[in-house]
Amino acid sequence: MGTVSSAARDDSPPAQLQLVVGEEELLAERAVEDIVRRAGTQDPEVELRRLRTSDIAPGELAGLLSPSLFAEARVIVLMAAHEATKDLTAAIAAYAGDPAPGIVLVAQHAGGARGKAVVDLMRKAGAETTTCARVTRPEERADFVRAEVRRHGGSISPDAVPVLVEAVGSDLRELAAAAGQLVADTGGRIDEHGVRQYHRGRAESTGFAVADATIAGDRAAALEALRWALVLGTPHVLIADALADAVRTLAKVGSAGRGDPNRLAGELGMPPWKVRKAQGQVRAWRPETLSVAVAATARVNADVKGAAADPAYALERAVLAVLDARAAR
């Protein structure tokens, strides 16, 4: 099991019973496409039928799943299997108990409690299962981006991944399209500069850009990035979170002292490149000024979540407070 984008290419014949379960539509579509591809590798003339579960009667399904006189290979895809009626579920169960040779039945289910009987019966029958759970955590989206770039034959530097995610957003289709386009436009080697250049209007106005300029003490760049972020509608919470994360990272790395980034990465729970970057930045800070910055970012996080009447002003005040703290020697 696992997401299709990160799996190694498999050319083996697909099992006769296939279950694709999960809410992430792009990954589910790719899982089905991969099953069809594998079936086509075995028989280029395989017949493909895609059926909306709510639109098919039990008798019609039974006919499609019956062996033919000429034993033609078939792939029957039941889309939205969570919509199956009780009678159709019974028909699926009857077939799953004795699948016909040369026919691959794919049940694509969105997950959850609705129509769970289809999932249970397919698993009980030994169906090959691909899980396409919703990608929600930042590290999962980062993994997806790296896998997409590899899928297109390219490579991406560690510092470019969060910039691309921040620039494009959380939608996997948009991330996939952006990754593919960047591989094509950069010759396959993607770095932070390339991402920022390609997504200039968006990447340079994100919370990461505001945080980076603020931590570096570049007052003009920080305020300009903040204004553009606000103009382009970057959520206040994302800007505040990026600023707070940058300051917390400095505080954690500063407290850990000098050392090998690879070793400290495990102790601090962050990637080595992030430790290395923070080690270079924290030299411009003193413990007491970092404390001031930590307090300012904690305050603005509360402000943008409802404590302040004007969250945009609260963000500008926080950026200036961090800049002033850095400048204090």
| Tens digit of each residue's pLDDT (9 = 90 or more) over 262-302 | 778 777 777 777 888 888 888 888 888 899 999 999 999 88
Structure-block tokens of residue 256? 């850990």
Contact in structure between 229 and 201 (CB atoms under 8 Å): no
Q: Which residue has the tokens 């099991």?
A: 1
Cα–Cα nearest to 96, from 1, 19, 12: 19
**CA 240 to CA 315: how far, in whole Å?**
7
Distance CA 321, CA 292 (A): 8
pLDDT digits 0-9 by tens, 13-57 = 899 999 999 999 899 999 999 999 999 988 888 899 999 898 899
The pair of three-digit structure tokens given for residue 212, joined into one six-digit string: 């980076």
Residue 71 in tokens: 């034993």
Give dist(CA 183, CA 187) in Å, integer: 6
Report how far apart, in Å, the C-alpha atoms of 282 and of each of 98, 260, 287, 295, 320 are: 65, 15, 9, 17, 18
Supply 195's token pair: 């991402």
Question: Residue 67 has which token pair?
Answer: 């062996």
Which residues have C-beta within 8 Å of that of residue 235, sequence separation ≥ 6? Answer: none
pLDDT number for residue 156: 96
pLDDT given at position 293: 92
Pick from 4, 271, 240: nearest CA to 135: 4
Which of 22, 31, 25, 8 shows the shortest CA–CA distance to 172?
25
Does residue 154 contact residue 189 with C-beta atoms inside 8 Å?
yes
Residue ranges of the chain whose pLDDT lies below 70? 1-9, 69-71, 200-205, 307, 329
Residues in the chain: 329
Measured distance CA(132)–CA(92) in Å, rounded: 21
